[in-house]
C-alpha cells in the first residue's frame, strides 16, 4: 500500500476534433488517455502509460490525425471508454490517488462522457488544475499552454505535443518543477 499522497496520476487526453463544428451526429470523445505517475516524495516521474480508446459516436478526422498522430485504424483497435475507465481504476488506483491535468478540459471531458448512461467516473475528488497552480506560482497574468509553460520553466518538450502519454509526461515535469519550489498543493 502506497503512503497517502505520495503518488499522483497526471492525466492528459486526446479527443476527436475537427477544424470547426463536429459533423452532424458526432460529438467529441476521448480517443487516447495518457497517464504519468509522479512520485512526489521522490520528486520523479516513475511511469508513463497510454490507453487507446475506440470512439463510439465520432470518427477521427484528417485534422485530428494531423494534430495528434492518431489514425482511425489505430483507435479502432482501442478499448471502449467504459473499459478505459475501469483500467484507470484497477491498474492506476484512479479513485484513490490524487490526480492532475493541465487545465480543466480533461476533467470536464471525463465528467461529460461519464454522464447519464455512461460508465462510472473513474477518479476520486482530489483533482488539481496544474495550469492554474503554475500560473499563480510564476506570477503570470495569463494561463499558458503546456508548451509555453515548459519554455517559461526552462524545461524541454519531450516527445510529440498532442500525444496523450507525452503530454502527461511533460505535465509531470511541470508538476515536479512546482513541487521543487514548494508551490504544489498537498
Asked if residue 24 is part of any domain, the answer here is yes
Model pLDDT, residue 5:
58
For 6, other C-beta atoms within 10 Å of its C-beta total: 14
H or E stretch at 117: none
**pLDDT confidence band for 4 (50 / 70 / 90):** very low
Tell whether 30 is covered by a domain. Answer: yes
| Contact predicate 64/16, CB 8 Å | yes
CATH, residue 46: 3.30.420.10
pLDDT digits (tens, 9 = 90+) for 96-120: 999 999 999 999 999 999 999 999 9
What distance in Å separates the CA atoms of residue 137 and residue 102, rounded to the nearest whole number? 14
Query: What does 89-100 look like in DSSP terms, one character per residue?
Result: HHHH-TTTSEEE
Q: How many domains does the chain have?
A: 1
Longest CA–CA span in the chain (Å) reads: 48
pTM of the model: 0.95
Residue 186: pLDDT band with limits 50, 70, 90:
confident
Q: Which domain holds residue 90?
A: 7-180
Amino acid at each position: 500500500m502506497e503512503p497517502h499522497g505520495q503518488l499522483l496520476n497526471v492525466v492528459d487526453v486526446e479527443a476527436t476534433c475537427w477544424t470547426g463544428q463536429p459533423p452532424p451526429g458526432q460529438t467529441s470523445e476521448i480517443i487516447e488517455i495518457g497517464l504519468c505517475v509522479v512520485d512526489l516524495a521522490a520528486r520523479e516521474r516513475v511511469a508513463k502509460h497510454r490507453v487507446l480508446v475506440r470512439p463510439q459516436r465520432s470518427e477521427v478526422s484528417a485534422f485530428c490525425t494531423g494534430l495528434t498522430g492518431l489514425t482511425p485504424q489505430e483507435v479502432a483497435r482501442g478499448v471502449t471508454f467504459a473499459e478505459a475507465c475501469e483500467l484507470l481504476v484497477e491498474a492506476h488506483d484512479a479513485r484513490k490517488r490524487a490526480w492532475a491535468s493541465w487545465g480543466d478540459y480533461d476533467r470536464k471531458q471525463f465528467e461529460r462522457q461519464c454522464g447519464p448512461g455512461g460508465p462510472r467516473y473513474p477518479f476520486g475528488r482530489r483533482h488539481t488544475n496544474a495550469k492554474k497552480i503554475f500560473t499563480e506560482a510564476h506570477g503570470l497574468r495569463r494561463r499558458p499552454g503546456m508548451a509555453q509553460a515548459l519554455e517559461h520553466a526552462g524545461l524541454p518538450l519531450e516527445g510529440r505535443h498532442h500525444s496523450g502519454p507525452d503530454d502527461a509526461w511533460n505535465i509531470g515535469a511541470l508538476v515536479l518543477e512546482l513541487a521543487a519550489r514548494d508551490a504544489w498543493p498537498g
